Amino acid sequence: MQALPHALYTPAQVRELDRRAIEHEGIPGRVLMARAGRSAWQALQRRWPQPGRLLVLCGGGNNGGDGFVIARRAAEAGWSVDLWTMTDPSRLEGDARRAADAALAMMAPIDDPQQALNGADVVVDALLGTGLDRPVTGHLATLIDAVNAAHAPVMSIDVPSGLHAATGRVMGTAVRAAITPTFIGLKQGLFTGDAADYVGAILFDGLGVPDTVYAGIAPVAWRLPESALASALVQRARTAHKGAFGHVRVLGGDHGMGGAVRMAGEAAARSGAGRVSVMTRPAHVAAVLAARPELMVAGLTAEELREADIAAGDTVALGPGLGQAEWGRCGFERGLQHGGALVVDADALNLLATQPQRRDDWILTPHPGEAARLLDTDIQTVLDDRWASVDALVARYGGVVVLKGAGTLIADRHHRRVANEGNPGMASGGMGDVLTGVIAGLRAQGWSPFEAACLGVQAHARAADRAAAGGERGLLAGDVLAHLRAVINP
């Protein structure tokens, strides 16, 4: 296996890459299948080095062909192998048929895979591959559920069966894999949405396909590089002063929600902004100053909000704790009047959904519920295809969109990134307020909207991963704040 690439492709693009390798480069399909099976078998041996009983579940296409190669190699290595075929081997064609014949020359297929699960030490899922486009039902769904209920770990070939390789959506039910070796090109659906609970460790092998195969096929997205922060956040000049690092104004905090602006303000400061001001309800001023005296805090009524002075060069973080009552609507209107850098979150997004407009330079940071309101649809539609949803948000509202969730997506008209750091402990109140502050702090320091969004997502997630060292349950947004300074100084 190789280091995981950053380029992501659709399943159709990967099939085209496979076709080019065969037809343009003269690599026979049987050779690619043999390489894929060998690579997956080696990955299995590294993960589970002690020989045992292997159950191999083979489908009817090339994914099943990979499974037949693994079954044969396992038998040759001294493993006890139970082989089940979803399709009558005599009906297979081409490379899959040749791989099946070689495996079946060494073993007879079993009739009842569910019974074999009881004695399996490892299961190989080579059932469905990347072509799945409808929900899994019937006997196959029952088998997948039985695989998940068994105690044996699973290696899924290319993509866990039942997981949509383009969207990361579970199509009714899907195999929960411990490892997923995938080949030639990374599929975009493996890195967002439901995939986080199903793919396990993703492994990659290009199968020796030459670079010429990839020429002219542009990746549809990229994984956010692990080194993004270290590459961008270089050491500051020794002559630096606070005026060089921007001024963030956090606008929000209606009654009972003063903590949101306090956390967003501190996150902006911890991310390196030179100055941070908070514009909030008068009742919150004392509490915010007591908690973080480095922040400048102005208590404003609704009328005062309408007339509030915001310098053109300031970066505005609009929305944390804003509310949707009169005070919040006044703040929303004032924030949208700002012609400079703007990060929009929380109730500002909900208000934006009622008054849609476009800007080319703002950053919107919705979670799926907010995204659904912005798109006038339901949450499940957003979750069914997060890639399509983030594209639709960019098309409707412009700028940069950060669609939060497992496998956070960052997109504008020209770029798409997916971030895979972070953890389930982040599913708690205030996390979005911290992210808004981090992105605003980086934007104020001069990074472009897209750069600030990417760096902010990575810094926020990495700080959360450090904070989760003591456990994911009970992780608070304030715990993430405590680790921000370390990750923002890589």
Model confidence pLDDT, tens digit, residues 222-239: 999 999 999 999 999 999
d(CA 97, CA 221): 34
Q: So what's the pLDDT on residue 90?
A: 86
247 forms beta bridges with 275
Compute CA 182 distance to the chain's CA centroid, rounded to the nearest angstrom: 17
Query: At residue 490, does pLDDT exceed 90?
Result: no
Query: At residue 321, does pLDDT exceed 90?
Result: yes
Give the C-alpha distances (Å, rounded to integers) separating 101 from 28, 83, 98, 429: 18, 12, 5, 56
Delineate the domains of the chain, giving CATH numbers in brackets.
7-220 (3.40.50.10260), 228-487 (3.40.1190.20)
Rg (the chain; Cα; Å): 26
Compute CA 85 distance to the chain's CA centroid, rounded to the nearest angstrom: 33
Q: So what's the pLDDT on residue 141?
A: 97
Model confidence pLDDT, tens digit, residues 343-388: 999 999 999 999 999 999 999 999 999 999 999 999 999 999 999 9
d(CA 265, CA 251): 9
Nearest to 453 by CA among 341, 323, 286: 341
d(CA 175, CA 125): 8
Single pTM value for the model: 0.95
Backbone φ, ψ for residue 133 (5° rounding): -135, 10
**Burial call 23-50: b when 16+ CB within 10 Å, e when fewer:** eeeebebbebbbbbbbbbbbbbeeebee
Q: So what's the pLDDT on residue 1?
A: 81
Measure the CA dihedral 256/262/264/269, to 10°: 170
Q: Are 246 and 439 in contact (CB under 8 A)?
A: no
Model confidence pLDDT, tens digit, residues 281-295: 999 999 999 999 999
Model confidence pLDDT, tens digit, residues 24-41: 999 999 999 999 999 999
Element (H, E) at 343: strand 342-344
Element (H, E) at 466: helix 449-467
Choice between 452 and 61, residue whose per-residue pLDDT is larger: 452
Average pLDDT, the chain: 96
Nearest to 481 by CA among 466, 489, 473, 472: 466
What DSSP assignment string belongs to 252-298? ---TT-HHHHHHHHHHHHHTT-SEEEEEE-GGGHHHHHHH-TTSEEE
